[in-house]
Structure 1
């Protein structure tokens, strides 16, 4: 956290004004494998590349009329901006089984829901 300190001499009180949010650790390595659920920024959190998951992380699936419910499936999104605004989705997929996500250098963020961990494909 960065901040500035201002002290009042008469009352011996100090106040810290916070400027910005938490400071990321310098030199932190990108996550690999990527956890199956979460929102990740490309660059500081994860590296660009081709990733594979074994599919859903659900222990059991719920099916209605021979169709699995969304909560039973693995779902992912890539974004052209560093936020989860669905207007900026580049690509997405949903599946019960194994699948790939190509997180190329133009992608700014990756979101995964209810998936087994994502492993980078060499």
Structure 2
């Protein structure tokens, strides 16, 4: 009887532990994502700005018309810990190595992983 109770306890504990979620791919175009937990490291590609239309002033697109991304050395994604960043209206790539802790994307089309961690 003791062995039977332990098997039931182990089975109950194993069922109570949530399985790890699969990393997001594609990554949504807006948000902050933790590398390893939310997204996998790798090289990602986006089609560019997620805006339906662009606003240009003196032949320069406004910030709201462009896609921007940032990688951070800490999971809290504060501007003091930016490792790399880029902004564009057109298609671009973002390298997200395993050494960074967070990736932030603003106003972008979804990001699709092209290769595993660089």
TM-score tier, shorter chain, comes to: 0.7 to 0.9
| Alignment size in residue pairs | 99
Q: In 1, distance between residues paired with 2:62 and 2:77?
A: 22
Secondary structure of the residue that 2:25 maps to in structure 1?
Answer: coil
Match of 2:108 among 98, 115, 119: 115
Alignment equivalent of 2:35, drawn from 21, 42, 47: 42
Report the equivalent of 2:98.
105
* Selected match of 1:91 from 71, 84, 97: 84
> With structure 1 as the length reference, what TM-score do the two structures score?
0.79
Higher RCO (CA-CA < 8 Å; seq separation 6+): 2
Unaligned runs of 5+ in 1: 1-24
Distance across 1 between alignment mates of 2:19 and 2:34: 16
Equivalence for 1:9:
none
What stretches of structure 2 of length at least 5 have no aligned partner? 1-17
1:106 is paired with a residue of what secondary structure?
coil
For residues 55 and 97 of structure 1, the distance between their equivalents in structure 2, rounded to whole angstroms, comes to 4
Greater than 4 Å deviation, 4+ residue runs: none
1:85 offset after TM fit, Å? 0.8
2:56 paired residue number: 63
Deviation at 1:83, TM superposition (A): 1.0
